[in-house]
Amino acid sequence: MLSPVVTVSIFQKQPDPQAFSAGEVIFEEGQPGEHMYGILEGTVDILVNGKVVETIETGEVFGVGVLVGVKNRTYTAIAKVDSKLAFVNEKRFLFAVQETPMFALKVMKSYSERLSRVQRMV
């Protein structure tokens, strides 16, 4: 698996990272989406039905579902602390996978583990 350092380096290549203040909503459950996110700096809470189910940190990815056929967000993401995020649409994701094929495995593993945790919570 890729280390958080490698994941961060992949996302650092993306233009225009976004800054989110502590407590700021990144996206909400049920919203449509076009991007996955990588945490360059900071911490993000993942909530389902208003309950924190996971806290993720620098080097982690989230919001992947919309790139693999899920139409709407299945959870809410909120910056726990001031955070800097890079975002990737489907075209950029496919390019990153071509450059670093192991990146796809990390993303799939992360998505699968998060989905399993969320399903246990519901």
What does each of the 122 residues of the chain score in pLDDT, given as a tens digit? Answer: 445 555 667 777 777 899 999 999 999 999 999 999 999 999 999 998 899 988 999 988 899 888 877 889 988 999 999 999 998 888 888 887 887 777 777 777 777 777 776 667 66
Report the alpha-carbon distance of residue 85 to residue 20 in Å, rounded: 8
The pLDDT of residue 109 is 79
Calculated CA dihedral for residues 10, 16, 21, 24, nearest 10 degrees: -90
Alpha carbons 79 and 84: distance in angstroms, whole number: 9
User: In this structure, what is the dihedral angle of CA atoms 72, 10, 90, 44, given to the nearest 10 degrees?
Assistant: 10
pLDDT at 3: 58
3-state secondary structure of 61: strand
| pTM, 2 dp | 0.81
